Structure 1
Amino acid sequence: MISSVKHIRHLYARAGFGIRFEELKQVENLSVKQAVAGLFKASENIIPVDIIAANISYKDFLLANEGTKKMFLQEQRQQEKALNIDWINKMSTRNTPLREKMTLFWHNHFACRTQNAWHAQQLNNIQRNNAVGNFKTLLLEVSKAPAMLQFLNNQQNQKNHPNENFARELMELFTIGRGNYTEQDVKESARAFTGWSFNKQGSFIARPALHDTGPKTFLGNTGNFNGEDIIDMLLTKKETARFICTKLYKYFVNEAPDDLHISAMADVFYSNNYELKPLLEFVFTADWFYADKNIGNLIKAPVEFIVGLNSQFYITYQNPDVVLQFERALGQVLFYPPNVAGWPGGRNWIDSSSLMYRIKIPSTVLNGGVIEFSGKVDPEDEAFIATTRKQKEAVTTKVQAQADWDKFLNSIPKGTGKTTIAQTILATSISSNITEIINKTTDIKTLVIELASTPEYQLC
């Protein structure tokens, strides 16, 4: 297809976290196919998160005295924060935008909570390593990850006392989706995963003494199946390809599924043995991906909003913990999904409270100002604000952020008009509201701050 600057901006908004003026200058004359190839090339590098060392085991924690437990929990809290901030920084640097955008997708698809930051880091790196690789490989590694095995209780899954939690979520949320399996399939597959566990070194281990070796009937097949056999059978069903493609379509294209486009995606995914690169190339080079109805129509997830702001304006934080306040206020704290189904996304990101913060955060950050969070200060860490509606205590925090305005302003090509600047900052068409802002502002800095403070900036 013939490329345009509009297409390139849209591609970078969806396959990454937006585009800077300096990047746009480098790629604006590429074809869509060339630009997509460039994104994949940049994402060939895998830069793991590697800031958390192995911790003591949960068993050791239970045996510790109260003083040791308290120290351990405080250390865990600091590690969780460090892990969160490190990933935000990784996404904001834009070295591997597509890989990190897909890692964020898998982070929500395989939603998991653990108090062990080392296990959380391990799972995050599994998702990063396989983010644009093979789904089967990713699924197997996630299924064997200590964080997931513990979160979904497979540590307690053993012969004669099967625990169905992991087996159920594997089908309902990770692969085939509701309506494509029976309760008996859940029971039988749970037996196949008996004995899947991990040791205190954080390595997967299959414990033969705990495994049910009896025959099992799953999706119409009978045999002495283990967990890998169950995963293989789930992937033979095209419903799995369609389930994953539906979620990817809603993530990258439109919250309203298009059956024709999703079917075409599922055909590509299934026929390529669940390789993600051919599927994503198909989506990003499809004419319908660039249709007007699919541009500027998705609400940015809070993390996408924060990362896009950070990277567009080269923002650094003197106190990085304030980023965690933003995540809390906007409803998406990395590594803390609300449940195993993950964040629902879409219009659920916006309510009257979060929209107020979304509008206020850009102008506050870009001006190094003060923002008020309505929430109760966590006694362990004043920078971590609980913003539940039950707690009304107001907390005023100086953001202590610095945008590199010289770098930003110098990246805008000389002679660029204010309308073109607005079109680069925003994904939506130029509305009468935006035209009014363009006409009334006289300097570029004021213009971009006002643009970033509009409802339109919340869309990508």
Structure 2
Amino acid sequence: MADSLLKNKHLLWRAGFGVGINQVTDLKNNNTRTLLNELFKEDLFTEITYDTPDIDPAADYMNSSAPADKKKEMQRINREQNNELNLNFLDKMVNSKEQMREKMAFFWHGHFASRVANPRFNKQLLNTIRKNALGNFRDLLFEVSQAPAMLGFLNNQQNKKDHPNENFAREVMELFTMGRGNYTEKDVREAARAFTGWGYDKEGNFKERKNLHDEGSKTFLGKTGNFSGVDILNLILEQKATSRFVTTKVYKFFVNEKTDQDIIDTLSNNFYNSGYDIKKLMTEIFSSTWFYDQKNIGNRIKSPIELMAGIMRILPMHIQNPENLIVYQKLLGQMLLYPPNVSGWPNGRSWIDSSTLMLRLQVPQIWSGLRPLEYSPRQDDDINMGMKSPETALNKSFKNPNITIDWNRVEKIFENKKTEDYLIQNTQTLDINSVKNFSDKSTKMTIINLMSTPEYQLM
């Protein structure tokens, strides 16, 4: 296989969501540098939104005195709007030319994990992340830290002088910036005092509630002053540990879960010295020769969203009931806007257990209409969104997504091409003969069978 094909395929999976059907023809001859420039191209930014009309925020149906039917209605509308946001984000991953922006946004979506019922707040946070995805980490951190979804999720609305709530301050340091071991419990307490009064109104505007802010002197990371929340974030960004923590997480997600300390030293120093320029960091990674080393290719297990988006990019499809794609997200264990906890989604082997592996291998056949989905529908439980056991994730109204795939176009594009070279990252372990013996030699069956192999689970 041409070396450039292998490199280009690797780049498209890591810096995006895999090879798109319209990229197959030129993939072999395309220069990797040209492809990289295309991936980084940024169009005019467009927000992800939903069409279901909002309920008047003044009519607060979720307060304790509201009648039950009103609350139910509110929950239904929230769910519909969140589902629309979810599917519109997935659609961007599949169809946007700005693959790198959406891939980076997907990464930040797990890094700055939040889970709130309010779709308006979800929309705002999602678009903040997408807008700054390849911008500056400083701007991203400030905007996320003042987003109502995050302040609400981490209880900072309840953080008041004389009664500080440490949750927000702790997670900002532990999960978003420096990582454990680079601050003390006293730093957490002092930072929490500095963030007192940070909150938001019903409309989703950030509010510094001065009367709730602790004006006293604070000592944080060895410095003393009458610090505000803004000062705390600035002090955190001055720490080289912040650059190192973020760079390491980026490396594990985009390159390899086994880290190379020398490479991370270089990357994190450059990231720090660039003033946290995300685009520069990602360009350095994807332009490096080490990124294309054999050990970094085909070594990552696709997350459920990457798996689904990848299939949707290479197989041109019309989906009649896209809302049912959310059922697949639940069953496979990764539902957009719904991370399992404040740490976001775990990666790697945690995606695979006996039930998810079986379903992963069957998705290509189910979506091609060759087999039914064999998980028995049970009542959905809204409390844990079916996260505990995959079977509970299906509700009574479940129907297949009703997908029509344009196989004629696929056959034309793959004519005289080895399909496995385009679909599988590491073809060395693939037993292509048994894949072909198993199928009727048609391009359609070969592709479905290739997608049903363990090798297709890797990227």
Per the normalisation by structure 2, the TM-score is 0.93
Give yes or no for contact 1:364–1:399 (8 Å, CA) kept in 2: no
Aligned to 2:62: 61
Query: How big is the shift at 1:82?
Result: 1.5
Letter in 1 for 2:7: H
2:445 corresponds to which residue?
446
**Whole-Å Cα distance in 2 between the matches of residues 36 and 70 of structure 1?**
48
Q: Is the contact between residue 368 and residue 402 of structure 1 (CA under 8 Å) also seen in structure 2?
A: no
* Residue identity matched to 1:225: F
Q: Given residue 422 of structure 1, which amino acid in structure 2 is its aligned partner?
A: E
How far off its partner does 1:374 sit? Answer: 4.2
Q: Return the alpha-carbon distance in structure 2 between the equivalents of residues 406 and 263 of structure 1.
A: 49
**Equivalent-residue separation in structure 2 for 1:3 and 1:428 (angstroms):** 12
Q: Deviations over 1:249-300 (max 9, x none)?
A: 1111111111111111101211100010110000001111000010011000
Amino acid at match of 1:226: S
Task: Name the SS of the counterpart of 1:22 in structure 2.
Answer: helix
1:49 match:
48
Structure 1: where are the runs of 5+ without partners? Answer: none
Mapping of residues 122-201 of structure 1, within 5 Å: 122-201=124-203
Query: Which is worse superposed, 434-443 or 184-193?
Result: 434-443
Q: List per-residue Cα deviations over 1:81-138 (Å, max 9, x = no partner).
A: 1211111112111322111111110110011000101111110000000000000100
Separation of aligned partners in 2, 1:291 and 1:347: 22
1:431 CA displacement: 2.6
Tell me which amino acid in the other structure corresponds to 1:138. Answer: L
Answer yes or no: is the 8 Å Cα contact 1:374–1:394 preserved in 2: no
How has the CA–CA distance of structure 1 residues 292 and 379 changed in structure 2, closer, same or farther, with 3 Å as cutoff? closer
In structure 2, C-alpha distance between the alignment counterparts of 1:393 and 1:204, rounded to whole Å? 37
1:70 to 52, 55, 72: 72
C-alpha separation in 2, matches of 1:10 and 1:322: 30
Tell me the SS of whatever aligns to 1:162: coil
Residue 425 of structure 1 is matched in structure 2 by 423
Matched, 1:40 2:49: no
Counterpart-to-counterpart distance in 1, 2:259 and 2:54: 42
Choose the corresponding residue for 1:83, options 79, 82, 85.
Answer: 85
Q: Deviation at 1:409?
A: 2.1
Contact persistence 2:156–2:167 (CA under 8 A): yes
Answer whether contact 1:193 1:227 (CA < 8 A) is retained.
yes
1:405-448 Cα offsets, whole Å, 9 max, x none, are 12222223x432xxx31010111123352343246642111100
Q: Distance in 2 between matches of 1:293 and 1:372?
A: 36
Q: Kindly provide the amino acid, as one letter, of the partner of residue 447 in structure 2.
A: V
1:3 and 1:138 map into 2 onto residues whose CA distance is 37
2: CA distance between counterparts of 1:85 and 1:27?
28
Tell me, in whole angstroms, the C-alpha distance in 1 between the residues paired with 2:434 and 2:58.
59
Q: What is the aligned partner in structure 2 of residue 459 from structure 1?
A: 458
Q: What residue number does 1:6 align with?
A: 6
Q: Distance in 2 between matches of 1:273 and 1:437?
A: 50
Counterpart code for 2:323? D
Partner residue of 2:434 out of 432, 436, 447: 436
Distance 1:391 1:334, change over 3 A: closer
Unaligned 5+ residue runs, structure 2?
none
Counterparts of 2:394 and 2:149, CA distance in 1 = 34
Secondary structure of the structure 2 residue equivalent to 1:95: coil
Distance 2:393 2:130 in 1: 38
User: Which residue among 217, 226, 230 is the counterpart of 2:232?
Assistant: 230
* SS of structure 2 residue aligned to 1:370: coil
Return closer, same or farther for 1:57/1:110 CA change in 2, 3 Å cut-off. Answer: farther
Pairing of 1:371-390 with structure 2 (within 5 A): 371-374=373-376, 376-378=378-380, 388=389
1:45 Cα deviation from its structure 2 partner: 3.6
Counterpart amino acid of residue 431 in structure 1: T
Tell me how far 1:75 sits from its aligned partner.
1.1
Q: Answer whether contact 2:40 2:100 (CA < 8 A) is retained.
A: yes
Give the letter aligned to residue 348 of structure 2.
G
Q: Which range is displaced more, 97-106 or 48-57?
A: 48-57
1:143, 1:149 within 8 Å by CA — same for their partners in 2?
Answer: yes
Cα offset, 1:371, TM superposition: 0.6
Which residue identity lines up with residue 454 of structure 2 in the other structure?
Answer: P
Match of 2:277 in 1: 275
Which one is further off, 328-337 or 394-403? 394-403
- For the structure 1 residues 18 and 210, does the alpha-carbon distance in structure 2 shift closer, same or farther, using more than 3 Å as the test? same
Amino acid at match of 1:4: S
Distance 1:89 1:35, change over 3 A: same
Q: In the aligned structure 1, how far is the partner of 2:337 from the partner of 2:262?
A: 34
302-311 or 45-54, which deviates more: 45-54
CA distance in 1, matches of 2:457, 2:371: 20
Identity %: 42
Change (3 A) 1:159 1:144: same
Q: In structure 2, give the amino acid aligned to 1:415.
A: N
> What residue number does 1:411 align with?
413
What amino acid is the match of 2:425? A
- Segment drifting more, 147-156 vs 256-265: 256-265
The partner residue of 1:110 within 77, 100, 112 is 112
Decide whether the 8 Å contact of 1:175 with 1:234 is kept in 2.
yes
Instruction: Note the alpha carbon deviations across 1:376-424, whole angstroms, 9 max, x for none.
Output: 23389xxx97771686999885441111212222223x432xxx31010
| Residue 35 of structure 1, CA deviation | 1.8
Q: Kindly indicate whether residue 49 of structure 2 is the aligned counterpart of residue 17 of structure 1.
A: no
1:46 CA drift (Å): 2.1
8 Å CA contact 1:249–1:262 kept in 2: the answer is yes
**Separation in structure 1 between the aligned mates of residue 390 and residue 448 of structure 2, nearest angstrom:** 29
| Partner residue in 1 for 2:300 | 298
| Contact 1:376-1:387 within 8 A present in 2 as well | no
Structure 1 position 15, deviation (Å):
0.3
CA distance change for structure 1 residues 208 and 59 in 2, over 3 Å: closer, same or farther?
farther
